[in-house]
Amino acid sequence: MTRLGISVEGATEREFVSRVLRPHLAAFGVTVTAIDLRGNVSLDKIRGVLPALLGGFERVSTFYDFYGFKGRESRSIEQLEAAIGALVDEDRRARLVPYVQRYEFEALLFGAPQQAVDLMGGSAAQLEAMQQAVRQAGSPELVNDSFETSPSHRMKKHFSGYDKKLHGPEIVALAGLATIRQECPRFDAWVSKLEQLV
C-alpha cells in the first residue's frame, strides 16, 4: 500500500477525502490521510506544511480551491499548481501531485444536480437553476463568475439550509464518484493520477 497525504483547504474537503476518496483509492492500493489547512490557503502557508507532509508520507497531493486562493495574483490555475510544485526541491517534487480545484469544491455538486436537489429537499425550479448554470458555463467546473455566483454562493442561494461540510460530501457520495468524474474532467484527471500512485 502507498501512503498518500492530501493537504486540503478545509473541513469540507477533509470530509470528502475521508468519506469518498479514501475508500475509492483503497481499492487501488493507496491509503489516504487528509490534512486540513483550515482555510486561508496561500503559497506561503503551503510552503510551511509540505516538508512535514513529504517526511510523513510516500506521496503527497493537494486539494485547494482556486477561488479565494490568497495571493494568486494573475496566475492561471495551471501556473498556481506549478508554483506549488516549485515549493519543494526537485528530488522531492516527483512525490508531489499538486491539484487546485476549479473553481471550488462545490463545482463538483453541479455535476450532480439531481442528487443535490434530492438531498436538500429542493424543487424542480432549483434543479433547473443548477442545470442552467452548467449550460451557461459549459461545464460544472466552469461555474464561477464573481463573489455572488461562485459555486458555494449559488448553493447557499438555491438551498438556504446548505451546510458545506455536511451536505457537500454527502451529495458527492450520493451521486457516486463515477458520475462526478464523468461531468468534471479536470477533477477526473487528478483522481486518475492518484489511482496510479502504487
- Mark out the alpha helices in the chain (DSSP H runs): 11-16, 22-26, 43-56, 77-85, 90-93, 113-120, 124-137, 151-158, 164-175, 177-183, 185-195
Average pLDDT of the chain, as a whole number: 96
For 69, other C-beta atoms within 10 Å of its C-beta total 21
Its pTM stands at 0.95
CA 185/CA 197 separation, integer angstroms: 19
Residue environment code for 105-125, b if the CB has 16+ CB neighbours within 10 A, otherwise e: bbbbbbbbbebbbebbebeee
For the stretch 97-152, pLDDT in tens is 999 999 999 999 999 999 999 999 999 999 999 999 999 999 999 998 778 889 99
Q: Apex CA 49: angle with CA 180 and CA 79, to 5°?
A: 55
Going by pLDDT thresholds of 50, 70 and 90, the confidence category of residue 160 is very high
| SS3 (DSSP) at 123 | coil
Please write the tens of the pLDDT for every residue from 131-145: 999 999 999 999 987
